[in-house]
Amino acid sequence: MKNFEIITIEELLKRLEKYTYKQLHIHHTFKPDHSNFNGKNHIALQEGMYRYHTETKKWQDIGQHVTLAPDGKFITGRDFSTSPASIAGWNKGAFAVEMIGNFDVGKDQLKGEQKRSILMLSKYFADRFGYDCIKFHREGPGVRKTCPGTSIKKDTFIKEVMSMGKIFKDVEDGRWSVPYIEAAKDLGIMNGNTDGTFKPTEPLTREQAAIIAVNLYEKITGKKVVE
C-alpha cells in the first residue's frame, strides 16, 4: 500500500510550483460520498479507492493525483509527475483531483472548506495556465457521466473561480476568516451589504443580529418565518 499524506491547499499549491500541466481535471467520487466521511478517515477512504483502482480496475496505481475531502484537506495519490487515469484522450499533461462526494442534484452539496479548496486550486491553475485548462470530467470526449455532478454548473463555477478571494470586495484573500465568511454566505446566514461589501471589522448592529438570528432559525428548522 502507498504512503498517502494529508495536506492543506497551501501545501499542495507549494508542491505544484515545480510542475507544468496542460489541464486540471475535476471529478467527484460519487462513492464514497459525504456520508462516508467521519472527519478522521481520510487515509482509509483513499486506500479504499486505491484498492478499487488497482485490484478491480487493474490499473497500476490510483487514478487521481489528489483527493479532496469534505473538510478541505487533500490526500495525495498518484505521483504528480505521472499522467492520471482521468479523462481518456486528455490524460497526458493533466492533473486530476477527485472530490469526495456525490454532487448530483439532491445529493451532497459542495460548500465550506471543500468548496474553498477546489476554487483555490482552480484559481491557481487558471492563473498559471489559463481558464481553459479547467476541465470537468463530463466535458471529455465521449464521456456520458455527470461528473463532477449535475449540481455544479461549469459557468457558475468559473465565475466563482474568477472572483476567488473576493467573496465580498473588501475581504482579502489571506484573511483568516475567509472560510467562515464564505460558509456563512453559502448557508444564507450572512449576505453582506448591498454594495458588495462585508465590512469584516465593523461592529454588528442589533438589526443585523436580528436578521442573522432569523436566518439561522429558518436554516435549522426549515420553517420560513419572514416573507
Tabulate helix, strand, coil % of the chain (nearest 5): 35, 10, 55
Residues 6+ apart with CB under 8 A from 55: none
Q: Is the pLDDT of residue 28 over 80?
A: yes
Averaged pLDDT for residues 181-195: 81
When computed from its CA atoms, the radius of gyration of the chain, rounded to whole angstroms, is 19
Residues 6+ apart with CB under 8 A from 81: 19
Q: pLDDT class for 90, splitting at 50, 70, 90?
A: very high
Write the pLDDT tens digit of every residue in 71-89: 999 999 999 999 999 999 9
| Domain residue limits, the chain | 6-162, 178-221
Pairing assessment for the beta strands 66-68 and 74-76 based on DSSP bridges: antiparallel
Q: Beginning with the edge strand found earlier in the chain, give each strand of the sheet holding 66-68 in spatial order.
A: 6-7, 74-76, 66-68, 94-99, 23-28, 134-136
Whole-angstrom Cα distance, residue 39 to residue 112? 14
Residue whose entry in the numeric block shows the C-alpha cell 481558464: 131
Side-chain half-sphere CA neighbours of 27 within 13 A: 23
CATH superfamily of 6-162: Peptidoglycan recognition protein-like (3.40.80.10)
The pLDDT of residue 1 is: 72
The pLDDT of residue 198 is: 87
| 140 against 177, higher pLDDT | 140
Write the pLDDT tens digit of every residue in 116-154: 999 999 999 998 999 999 999 999 999 999 999 999 999
The lowest-confidence range among 22-31, 39-48, 50-59, 213-222 is 213-222
Q: Is the pLDDT of residue 227 over 80?
A: no
Residue 23 parent element (H or E): strand 23-28
Averaged pLDDT for residues 17-36: 97
Q: Is the pLDDT of residue 102 over 90?
A: yes
Q: pLDDT class for 37, splitting at 50, 70, 90?
A: very high
